[in-house]
Amino acid sequence: MIKPDFTQHVPEELGTVHFVGIGGSGMSGIARILLGMGHKVTGSDLRDTDAVATLRELGAEIFIGHDAAHLGNPDTVVVTSALWPTNPEYLLAKERGIPVIHRSQALAYLTSKRRVIAVAGAHGKTTSTGMIITGLLGLGEDPSFVNGGVIASLNASSASGSGDLFVIEADESDGSFLHYDTAIALITNVDADHLDHYGSEAAFEAEFGRFAQGAKEFVAISSDDPGALRVTQLIQDKRIISFGRASGSTVQLIDVDASGARVSFALVYEGATYRTDLNVPGEHNAINAAGAFAVLVGLGYDPAKSLASISEFGGTERRFQLHGEQRGVKVYDDFAHHPTEVSAAIKAARAVVGDGKLITVFQPHLYSRTRIMAKDFAEALSASDEVVVLDIYAAREDPEPGVTGALVSDAFKNQSQVHYVPVWDDVPAVAAQLAGEGDFIMTMGCGDIYRMVPALLEALEN
């Protein structure tokens, strides 16, 4: 992967903008806003996805595949850390002296004149960001936003609003979340990840400390997550709104019932108790809602109205998303790619599937993460009835000798429940044979595993 060059000056006028990897969740959201502002936008991506199709409809010129000929004559080039340093469009732009800025710099450019609500954390960012946006809209506000996933009720991951608030999902994976002029910071949790970049858990937490310290107005932060508690100790002279189950939390979560398709709970704030049901399952979503509530009441909105508005949230793309049903088997997809996320997603799915079986089709993401966390993945995945493990989605890393999906499958204590299937085309038939009426199949991972859903539905039909 390329290392972001944050010393690159961002032009006062971006002009025509070319995105290398325009179909990514963050990149496509920024491109959408720039199109709405009247910029000419071009780009390239490896696949012709729904996000690419939407941007084309809005006027973007997009090429499939990366080639120097696709660069054209832009005034500014936007890249992500996931690019290889040998990318031909990136290299040609550098050679021609075209300003090449990181995705986070482009987002900072868009947010520069707004009050920024930046949502960071190892897990729950996209959902929490979506809940804040939904809450603000329900309260009559018109925020701008860029989220890491499509918000189901809005069918969009970004928008340019008329209000002064700009809500963003802030990516901690490469330290770029430090480059926003943040007014309000929400930290969902600080569960160690991206150690390929940070090197140690202490360095990871220190970066979150710097992120929190940069918030001008206040910090909303988990009172339950051990990493978040350590980060809280690093925050000085800031207004802090804590949220979680812990007694003494500014916003305390109580009475959680995550046994069905809708999680119910109550929040205690300033001596009053507020109850609700969400339209999404899982205890983790009650925690996400508590964080979003902390942000809204911290901004001064009415607590009861804030929670009622948050409760209208209907989910985001690739978070326990139902794609279809064949032969009485429902097929879901989920973005979970860290053991903590995997555990939460499976727990929520089990509450919904009832007496049926849960078959999880898991695609590990990154060689380094798989090597470091193989045993943790196996433990989390074992809460499923059956697990199909694919090979690793490499993303921004070179292969590591001996590191494959087999590291995860070999770490299962019960080998009868796991099936290592390294050949992509073999997976749908294996998963379909494991499933019967009333069961769920759930694809899981942040690579391209979602692309298998149509083949799974076809295999079930056949």
Q: What domains does the chain contain, in order, with CATH numbers?
A: 17-101 (3.40.50.720), 113-310 (3.40.1190.10), 321-461 (3.90.190.20)
The pLDDT, as a whole number, for residue 4 is 65
Short-list 221, 215, 219, CA closest to 181: 215
Mean pLDDT of the chain: 91
In this prediction, residue 368 has a pLDDT band, given cuts at 50, 70 and 90, of confident
Would you say residue 289 has pLDDT above 90? yes
Would you say residue 194 has pLDDT above 60? no
Q: Which two tokens stand for residue 76?
A: 């500014």
Would you say residue 453 has pLDDT above 60? yes
Would you say residue 156 has pLDDT above 70? yes
Q: Work out the average pLDDT over 227-233.
A: 94
The pLDDT, as a whole number, for residue 28 is 92
Percent of the chain whose pLDDT exceeds 90 = 71
Would you say residue 314 has pLDDT above 90? no
C-alpha distances out from residue 56 to 28, 35, 117, 360, Å: 11, 10, 29, 34
The pLDDT, as a whole number, for residue 292 is 98
Report residue 165 CA to chain centroid gap.
21
Would you say residue 160 has pLDDT above 80? yes
Q: Work out the average pLDDT over 275-288.
A: 93
Q: Work out the average pLDDT over 184-199.
A: 74
Comparing 84 with 208, the larger pLDDT belongs to: 208
The pLDDT, as a whole number, for residue 79 is 94
The pLDDT, as a whole number, for residue 113 is 87
Amino acid identity for residue 364 in this structure:
P
| Sequence-ordered list of residues with C-beta below 8 angstroms from that of 148, at least 6 positions apart, any chain | 25, 26, 125, 126, 129, 157, 169, 171
Strands 156-159 and 144-151 come out as: antiparallel
The pLDDT, as a whole number, for residue 182 is 96
Q: How far apart are the first and last CA of the chain?
A: 41
* Strands, E assignment, 164-210: 165-169, 182-187
Phi-psi region for residue 357, left (φ > 0), alpha (ψ -120 to 50) or beta? Answer: beta
pLDDT in tens, 173-191: 666 788 899 999 999 999 7
Would you say residue 197 has pLDDT above 60? no
The pLDDT, as a whole number, for residue 192 is 66
For residue 131, the tally of other CB atoms under 10 A from its CB is 30
The pLDDT, as a whole number, for residue 175 is 63
C-alpha distances out from residue 35 to 98, 144, 333, 369, Å: 20, 14, 30, 36
Please give the Cα distance from 241 to 219 (Å, whole number). 6
Would you say residue 349 has pLDDT above 60? yes
pLDDT in tens, 395-421: 767 788 999 999 999 999 999 999 999
In this prediction, residue 341 has a pLDDT band, given cuts at 50, 70 and 90, of confident
The pLDDT, as a whole number, for residue 183 is 97
Out of 84-88, 171-175, 303-307, 442-446, the most confident range is 303-307
The catalytic site residues sit at 125-126, 169
The pLDDT, as a whole number, for residue 163 is 95
The pLDDT, as a whole number, for residue 3 is 67
Out of 118-122, 140-144, 316-320, the most confident range is 140-144
In this prediction, residue 45 has a pLDDT band, given cuts at 50, 70 and 90, of very high
The pLDDT, as a whole number, for residue 193 is 60
Q: Which two tokens stand for residue 340?
A: 């903590």
Q: Work out the average pLDDT over 97-125.
A: 92
The pLDDT, as a whole number, for residue 202 is 82
Would you say residue 95 has pLDDT above 70? yes
